[in-house]
Structure 1
Amino acid sequence: MITAFSRTILLYLLIVVGMRLMGKRQIGELEPSELVLTMMISDLASVPMQDFGIPLLAGFIPILTLLALSLFLSQLSLHNLRFRKLMCGSPTILIRNGQIQQSAMRKNRFTLDELLEELREQGYSNLQDIKYAILENSGQLSVFPWTAQQPPTTQQMGLNIQDDVTLPMVLINDGRVITKNLTACGRDIHWLQKQLTQEKISSPQEVFLLTLDEQGSVFCVKKEAAS
């Protein structure tokens, strides 16, 4: 039992590290090579988890080899455009200037039903509203409607609106002070304690969330009493 537990934990940690090395991707956004790598690693890890007769190293070595190969190919694709196109492919235009590119759809085995479904999911029910539709390497469909079908922007409407979008920085997260963020904002613990005093809070442990935006505005949410 202990052997199974320890082997599972070690393999799990190894796979988590490997996935982190691949970058922040959702499953639907994986490139073909990344998807193949994910499937192969999951299969390789399941064998030593179930068969105790197989040395754990026999699972580690293939997984580490695949991860090293993936990192090498990723670096190579960064510096070589031809290799990147070979490994990842290239986006395909399925609708160009409102015209469906039937040959491109056949080449990518993308049916008309799938195209209409993708357009409906993005809020478009009429093909005539679309100027461009591009099938990305990840399999996602990027849709660009005609200008007349796009919502007007403040610039197009001639409105002079001040840009007040700011990026709040989390200083307290569920009772824990994020010292790195506090320093990045040019504040210290004494300033933070002063803000808590103004909110009639005695300690950071009583705070669920406290943020500071670029304009110096503080937003504070107290913890709810445990029921």
Structure 2
Amino acid sequence: MPDHIEVFLRTIISFSLLLVGARIIGKQTIAQMTMFDFVAAISLGAISANIAFNTNVKVPHTIIAFSIYVAIIFLISIISLKSRKGRKLLGGDPTIVIQNGKVLEQNMKKMRYTLDYLNQQLRERDVFNIEEVLHAMVETNGTLTVQKKPQFRSVTRQDLMIAVTPEQRLPIELIMDGEVIEKNLEQNKLTIPWLESELRKRNLTQQDVVYAVLADNGNMYVDTYRDHIHSPIDKE
């Protein structure tokens, strides 16, 4: 078999295995990148890359190695799910870097976490004055969680004793890219005639609409293909 055809086929196999492995492991590798998840992702990527272009390595051997890695990662994730001690061992514990408004230098030194990086993380959370912070901790995935002092927190409706209308559901997407999402209509006991009626109230048909979503308050947002904007700001 010519080398370029072999690499082509191996790449397809590699990509397919990576997708299957990701589906088996779940979303935690992307969404909650702990140290263990980082090592797992790097390892699976390296094995997949070898399947794709390293023609000196036999495909069955790399598939076996990949499968074993996925099985180990999946097993460890199950252990972490069932055991709190297992989660701590693999993911570690959050580390407090600010307590009662005081920076804990020793905790930061253990993590090799600098004041410059702390300030950067605070600015990313719209905190430009460290004096506003009551508590801050570095989570196991490396993100910084911040609790502001009471006087610097945003005012809520509850603070102002304002009545709140309960929200019973998420917004419902009705039309996406010009196509009616019939599954969403059925799940929420809505019908296509009802949708067409709502569009007629706006002098629209389904063919005019690129996106439509029903908010939890009953209002419908509709975006059409024709925006009637004569001078778009970002026209390429």
TM-score interval (norm. to shorter): 0.7 to 0.9
1:217 corresponds to: 219
**Distance (whole Å) between structure 1 residues aligned to residue 130 and residue 222 of structure 2:** 47
Structure 1: gaps of 5 or more residues: none
**Distance (whole Å) between structure 2 residues aligned to residue 214 and residue 117 of structure 1:** 36
**Distance (whole Å) between structure 2 residues aligned to residue 217 and residue 76 of structure 1:** 45
CA drift of 1:155 comes to 2.3
Which 4+ stretches in 1 moved above 4 angstroms?
25-28
**Distance (whole Å) between structure 2 residues aligned to residue 53 and residue 26 of structure 1:** 29
Residue of structure 2 aligned with 1:143, choices 146, 155, 158: 146
Code of the aligned partner of 1:224: R
- Equivalent position SS for 2:211: strand
2:46 corresponds to: 43
**Distance (whole Å) between structure 1 residues aligned to residue 208 and residue 13 of structure 2:** 37
Question: What's the TM-score once normalised by structure 2's chain length?
Answer: 0.83
Structure 2: gaps of 5 or more residues: 228-236
Residue of structure 1 aligned with 2:198, choices 195, 198, 201: 195
Percent identical among aligned pairs is 29
**Distance (whole Å) between structure 2 residues aligned to residue 116 and residue 209 of structure 1:** 40
Code of the aligned partner of 2:5: I
CA RMSD of the aligned region, Å?
A: 2.4
Assess, with a 3 A threshold, how the Cα gap between structure 1 residues 196 and 128 changes in structure 2: closer, same or farther: closer
Question: What's the TM-score once normalised by structure 1's chain length?
Answer: 0.86
CA deviation vs aligned residue, 1:177-200 (integer Å, no higher than 9, x gap)? 211101011012232333344444
**Distance (whole Å) between structure 1 residues aligned to residue 132 and residue 11 of structure 2:** 52
Counterpart contact for 1:131–1:146, Cα < 8 Å: yes
Correspondence 1:1-227 to 2 at 5 A: 1-24=4-27, 29-158=32-161, 160-163=162-165, 167-202=170-205, 204-224=206-226
Counterpart contact for 1:29–1:139, Cα < 8 Å: no
Q: How many pairs does the alignment contain?
A: 223
Assess, with a 3 A threshold, how the Cα gap between structure 1 residues 201 and 150 changes in structure 2: closer, same or farther: closer
Assess, with a 3 A threshold, how the Cα gap between structure 1 residues 215 and 100 changes in structure 2: closer, same or farther: closer
CA deviation vs aligned residue, 1:30-67 (integer Å, no higher than 9, x gap)? 01111101101111111121133433222222222111
